[in-house]
């Protein structure tokens, strides 16, 4: 009896020959069954962990297939699962009928005869290896007909097709250019389309976050202009009578992570709360504003910029696994002079934008210079390859962006409901 160097596999050395029939490797449950089959038969000692097999993948690869010569049951399931996960060699499973009710190879020999072993291979079926797909069997109808959340900005929606599930959108631009304001408006559009939204806002206290969204949801017809006596600044207060209508409108459809709690900024906490919001409340639109405020678990070992890339990768996995859309705010590094901001300037390298499905740049401009108040540049759109720049105007009383030359007087469903009664 022999064992390989790390004790992972037991075998009879004189009977191991890939060129001798049966040409495949027979994986047995124990030494007794292995001895009965003898030629090209092995088993794993119970004391050896499956991870020890990894060192012998090249040795296993000399065989055209591995037959799990173990009767149906938990042991067969375990062996088949571990081998198919670790080895590139096709793994074969005998049909249940080929065992004639025997609980081992030894019982099969005793009850039916040695010739019954041939039937184990003849009636065996290959386990499809996980990770390979037959493209002819892929159903595209779900993707083609996927429900998309639109931004409410017609030119942007037409260009990128809205925001679909399973995708990550990165929003960049210099500080104070309006990224958070525009994204707040996009979140409200999602609520208005009956989606459930969950946001992480790393800088704004919860009261300030709500006040900003209240002003956007209310619109300029439902705010009152007042002059702050201390600073002489003009501020806009939402009329009290409309606040209950807005609260009813987004009740159960807009959630905010509580940054006042311990560990609230840790990336694990953010992702945990996002997943809970999806499973518990059906949230399918998410916002991380912004990645600079998150506490990244890999920062100490990888550095700040590389850790951002790792977190972005986790957000991409989150999107695709749960078929949700995530908006991520990522500020660019400082660029030299007045050089135009490029995708590779976002974060510390091109990793963040390489992982994203969409990349948008937001910048404030002057009407004298560009004929509008802001520009949204599509820097990347994986689905359609769209590029271009959308011109927007801005209305300060409502904090709303709207198409150049258009109007900010959009009515959300809460207001239509109030007007009707």
Please tell me the distance from the alpha carbon of residue 146 to that of residue 103, in angstroms, as a whole number: 49
Nearest residue to 256 (alpha-carbon basis) of 215, 294, 219, 207: 207
27-52 per-residue burial string, b: 16 or more CB within 10 A, e: under 16: bbbbeebbbbbeebbbbbeeebeeeb
Given this model, what pLDDT does residue 333 score?
Answer: 67
Closest C-alpha among 20, 54, 53 to residue 37:
20
Q: Which pLDDT tens digit goes with each residue over 44-97?
A: 888 888 988 888 888 888 899 999 999 999 999 999 999 998 888 999 999 999
Say how far apart CA 261 and CA 246 lie, in whole Å.
26
153 burial via Cβ count (<10 Å: 0-12, 13-18, 19+)? buried
Predicted structure pTM score: 0.74
d(CA 190, CA 198): 11
Which pair of tokens denotes residue 241?
């009578």
Supply the DSSP string of 295-318, one letter for each residue: B-TTHHHH-HHHHHHHHHHHHHHH
- The dihedral region occupied by 48, where left means phi > 0, alpha psi between -120 and 50, and beta the remainder, is beta
Here the tokens at position 278 are: 């999806």
Q: What was the pLDDT predicted at 55?
A: 85
Secondary structure (3-state) at 371? coil
Non-local (6+) Cβ contacts of 365 within 8 A are 372, 373, 374, 375
**In whole angstroms, what is the distance from residue 39 CA to residue 37 CA?**
6
pLDDT tens-place string over residues 287-319:
999 899 999 998 888 888 889 999 999 999 999
Q: Say what angle helices 179-192 and 243-250 make with each other, to 10 degrees.
A: 70
Tokens representing 112 are 């039916």
Query: What domains are there in the chain, each with its CATH number?
Result: 2-127 (3.40.1360), 141-420 (3.40.50.300)
What is the per-residue pLDDT for 1? Answer: 46
Q: List b or e across 55-79, with b for residues whose CB sees 16 or more CB atoms inside 10 angstroms.
A: ebeebbeebebbbbbbbeeeebeeb
> How many other C-beta atoms lie within 10 A of the C-beta of residue 190?
25
Q: Looking at 145-149, 156-160, 167-171, 358-362, which range is the least confident one?
A: 145-149
Identify which of 233, 248, 355 has the alpha carbon closest to the alpha carbon of residue 291: 355
Q: Which two tokens stand for residue 164?
A: 């679909």
């Amino acid at each position: 009896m022999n064992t390989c160097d790390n004790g992972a596999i037991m075998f009879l050395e004189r009977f191991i020959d890939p060129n001798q029939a049966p040409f495949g490797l027979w994986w047995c449950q124990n030494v007794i069954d292995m001895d009965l089959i003898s030629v090209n038969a092995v088993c794993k000692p119970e004391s050896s962990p499956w991870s020890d097999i990894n060192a012998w993948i090249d040795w296993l690869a000399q065989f055209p297939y591995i037959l799990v010569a173990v009767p149906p049951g938990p042991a067969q399931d375990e062996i088949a699962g571990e081998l198919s996960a670790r080895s590139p060699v096709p793994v074969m499973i005998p049909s249940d009928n080929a065992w004639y009710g025997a609980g081992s190879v030894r019982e099969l020999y005793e009850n039916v005869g040695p010739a019954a072993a041939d039937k184990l291979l003849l009636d065996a079926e290959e386990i499809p290896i996980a990770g390979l797909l037959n493209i002819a069997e892929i159903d595209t109808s779900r993707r083609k007909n996927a429900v998309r959340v639109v931004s409410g900005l017609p030119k942007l929606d037409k260009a990128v097709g809205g925001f679909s599930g399973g995708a990550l959108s990165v929003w960049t631009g210099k500080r104070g250019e309006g990224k958070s304001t525009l994204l707040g408006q996009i979140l409200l559009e999602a609520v208005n389309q009956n989606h459930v939204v969950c946001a992480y806002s790393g800088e704004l206290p919860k009261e300030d976050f709500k006040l900003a969204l209240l002003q956007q949801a209310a619109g300029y017809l439902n705010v009152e202009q007042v002059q702050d006596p201390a600073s002489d600044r003009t501020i806009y207060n939402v009329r009290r009578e409309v606040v209950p209508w807005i609260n009813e409108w987004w009740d159960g459809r807009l959630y905010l992570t509580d940054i006042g709690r311990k560990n609230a900024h840790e990336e694990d906490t953010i992702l945990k709360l996002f997943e809970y919001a999806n499973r518990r409340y059906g949230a399918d639109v998410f916002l991380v504003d912004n990645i600079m405020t998150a506490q990244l678990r890999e920062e100490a070992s990888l550095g700040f910029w590389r850790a951002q890339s790792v977190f972005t990768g986790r957000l991409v996995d989150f999107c695709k696994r749960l078929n949700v859309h995530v908006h991520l705010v990522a500020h660019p590094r400082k660029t030299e002079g007045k050089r135009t901001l490029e995708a590779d300037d976002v974060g510390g390298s091109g990793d963040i934008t390489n992982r994203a499905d969409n990349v948008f740049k937001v910048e404030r401009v002057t009407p004298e210079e560009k004929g509008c108040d802001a520009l949204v540049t599509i820097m990347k759109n994986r689905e359609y390859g769209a590029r271009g720049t959308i011109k927007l105007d801005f209305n300060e009383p409502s904090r709303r962006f709207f198409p150049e030359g258009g109007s900010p007087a959009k009515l959300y469903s809460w207001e239509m409901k109030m007007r009707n009664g």
